[in-house]
């Protein structure tokens, strides 16, 4: 990967690296019921931006200043993508958001039935922790570092993190009226796993605690900006580019940032959060913060 590559090409190359690693994520020699394995692979390989795992790899590079930590960070990148994938499978279930399609393909339960979709989600969630242990088993990651990553993941993806955010979203469906409520949901449902990705990449790269904190905060701010941007795109985005209908939030009476604070203030918020995230990074004495800075700008300008 040349430094002169554009950020778009850089992200695409990192995502390709992740795709390859995800291909055979459950070892082929493991005795797993074929339908369960197929169902797990179906959703894992269904595309998507691979944003979270790209953050893991890029954070590790930012700390070391070169690509030396990318191999060791790859199992962690896979872990976070498995967590993201399981959460989408469970969110799509009839009892939750009841979605028939995701990224233009039938959702997991439409193909394999609800029972297998629930179990595929459970299996992916469990397997994410296996991936974390592989960072120590197959690479030069210390057991202490891997265990810290297990702890971070169990908190940020668990009841006080991503699952808590989804629960608050479900529980509050009619009741969300304040910015504080909405921020709680976005913060946990989206930002926590992005914050985890940055912090875990930093741990693999050997970041000190100030750097870890900066990476985590950068992740929190970008995660919130990302979610507000989603709200904005649902209102004024290009259906062709988004690959889905716009105005779905309005039709579903969903409370969003533009609804609560207006479109202009929402856009300003995205810019403010992005600027703050970049500033945090630049102050953290990272060996090579450029890619993360570029990703922040790239995300702010995205149209899908």
- Interacting residues toward a copy of itself by CB under 8 A: 26, 30-33, 35-37, 40, 86, 90, 93, 95-96, 113-116, 118-119, 121-123, 125-127, 129-130, 132-133, 136-137, 142-144, 146-147, 150-151, 153-155, 157-160, 163-164, 166-168, 170-171
Tokens found for residue 247: 């105005």
- Cβ-based nearer residue to a copy of itself, 133 or 269: 133
DSSP state of 287: S
Please state, in angstroms and rounded to a whole number, the distance separating the CA atoms of residues 134 and 130: 6
**Minimum separation from the CB atom of position 234 to a copy of itself (A):** 22
**Minimum separation from the CB atom of position 254 to a copy of itself (A):** 16
**Minimum separation from the CB atom of position 184 to a copy of itself (A):** 8
Please state, in angstroms and rounded to a whole number, the distance separating the CA atoms of residues 42 and 74: 20
- Cβ-based nearer residue to a copy of itself, 136 or 222: 136
- Cβ-based nearer residue to a copy of itself, 23 or 247: 23
Helices (H), the chain: 7-23, 34-44, 51-64, 70-92, 108-112, 114-138, 143-156, 162-171, 179-186, 192-205, 209-236, 239-242, 248-251, 257-261, 263-282, 290-300
- Cβ-based nearer residue to a copy of itself, 177 or 247: 177
- Cβ-based nearer residue to a copy of itself, 10 or 112: 112
**Minimum separation from the CB atom of position 282 to a copy of itself (A):** 30
- Cβ-based nearer residue to a copy of itself, 25 or 299: 25
Cα 13 from chain centroid? 17
Tokens found for residue 69: 């930590």
Tokens found for residue 238: 């290009």
- Nearest alpha-carbon partner for 142 in 212, 72, 94, 244: 72
**Minimum separation from the CB atom of position 186 to a copy of itself (A):** 14
**Minimum separation from the CB atom of position 126 to a copy of itself (A):** 4
């Amino acid at each position: 990967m040349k430094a002169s590559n554009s950020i778009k090409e850089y992200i695409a190359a990192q995502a390709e690296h992740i795709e390859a690693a995800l291909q055979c994520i459950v070892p082929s020699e493991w005795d797993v019921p074929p339908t369960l394995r197929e169902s797990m692979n179906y959703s894992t390989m269904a595309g998507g931006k691979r944003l979270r795992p790209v953050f893991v790899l890029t954070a590790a590079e930012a700390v070391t200043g070169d690509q030396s930590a990318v191999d060791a960070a790859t199992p962690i990148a896979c872990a976070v993508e498995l967590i993201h994938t399981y959460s989408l499978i469970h969110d799509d279930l009839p009892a939750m958001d009841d979605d028939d399609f995701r990224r233009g393909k039938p959702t997991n339960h439409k193909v394999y039935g609800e029972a297998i979709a629930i179990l595929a989600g459970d299996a992916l969630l469990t397997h994410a922790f296996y991936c974390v242990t592989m960072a120590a088993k197959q690479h030069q990651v210390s057991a202490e570092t891997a265990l810290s990553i297990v702890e971070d993941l169990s908190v940020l993806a668990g009841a006080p993190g991503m699952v808590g955010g989804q629960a608050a979203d479900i529980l509050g469906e009619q009741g969300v009226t304040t910015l504080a409520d909405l921020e709680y949901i976005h913060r946990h449902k989206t930002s926590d796993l992005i914050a985890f990705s940055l912090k875990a990449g930093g741990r693999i790269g050997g970041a000190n605690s100030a750097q870890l904190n900066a990476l985590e905060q950068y992740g929190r701010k970008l995660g919130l900006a990302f979610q507000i941007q989603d709200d904005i795109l649902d209102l004024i985005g290009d259906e062709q580019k988004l690959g889905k209908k716009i105005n779905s939030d309005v039709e579903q009476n969903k409370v969003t940032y533009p609804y609560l604070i207006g479109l202009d203030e929402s856009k300003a918020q995205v810019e403010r959060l992005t600027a703050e995230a970049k500033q945090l990074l630049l102050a953290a004495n990272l060996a090579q913060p450029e890619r993360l800075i570029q990703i922040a700008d790239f995300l702010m300008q995205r149209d899908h």
